[in-house]
Amino acid sequence: MKPAARRPIPLAQPALLLRRFPFGESSLVLHVLTPGAGRVALLAKGAYRPSSGYFAVFDLFDTLSVRWSARAGQELGLVTRAELVTRRPGLASDLTRYRAALGLLELAHLSAREQHEERGLFAWLEGALDELQRAVVDPRLVALAADLALLREHGLAPALSACASCGARPAERERSVPFSAALGGRLCLACASAERARGRAVEPIPLNALRVAESLMGATPAMLAHTHIEAGLLERVRAFVERFLEYHLETRLRSRRSPQAPLR
């Protein structure tokens, strides 16, 4: 006798849509982040049909409740039910917030694991999207604080006050300090000289940029609401944090290359 075919395993999770792709005339392939199952690839059949049970539900930035079934050996789970939990319309109505939110989705997509719990990552992404939706703080500041929080969540926070190589606390006499993404952050002069002698990249970072990054590392929404950083300094902090992120992710973030690089 042939073994009985395994029935699909029904699954239900809160979900945040990371990416979506058209499939056929009326369906969507979805990449979603869930707290209990990590990143999941799903097929939503008939998602564009008004008669569908989840018509107009799968928008970027919204928190959803999604139920799906999965079979062993199949790459895509099949969506059986989806409902809107929290809509964040403000993120699509402002270009700066929209781009900042896309960057957060891309970071989550790169960081999330499949078939693993990602409760910390889910809470990080949902909280950052909520903060962008509130529109109280400059979206670039929200995104920067979120980048630093993600690095801390993964145990990759850059060393900002002590040398990442020897642990010494350098005297802060200069306006810029040596910094190495490969070694994990700020360097003292001796370790920086040793790294340069080995032919490794060491870049100068303004000291005030490191201090701002350090203050933002554990910033709460209430703290961010009272934080004001001059635009030029904010850009310098954002630039070195983004380079640090991309080094450890081993890829360049598509959503941050130019204003004309949205994700679908």
pLDDT at 171: 78
Closest CA to 253 of 110, 140, 136: 110
pLDDT at 4 over 80: no
Q: Look up residue 219 and give its amino acid.
A: A
Enter the DSSP assignment of 2.
P
Residue bearing the bigger pLDDT, 4 or 53: 53
Rounded CA-CA distance 218/225 in Å is: 14
> Pairing relation of β-strands 27-34 and 38-44?
antiparallel
Q: What is the mean pLDDT of residues 156-175?
A: 90
* Average pLDDT in the chain: 90
Closest CA to 210 of 239, 190, 168: 239
pTM: 0.87
Domain 9-155+217-256 indexed as CATH 2.20.25.650: no
pLDDT at 2 over 70: no
pLDDT at 264: 36
Q: How confident is residue 70, by pLDDT bands cut at 50, 70 and 90?
A: confident
Q: At how many degrees (to 10) do helices 119-134 and 139-153 cross?
A: 170
Rounded CA-CA distance 61/104 in Å is: 10
Enter the DSSP assignment of 114.
B
Compute and round to an integer the Cα radius of gyration of the chain: 21
pLDDT tens digit sequence for 220-254: 888 998 899 999 999 999 999 999 999 998 888 88
Closest CA to 146 of 229, 241, 254: 241
pLDDT at 185 over 90: yes
Domain spans of the chain? 9-155+217-256
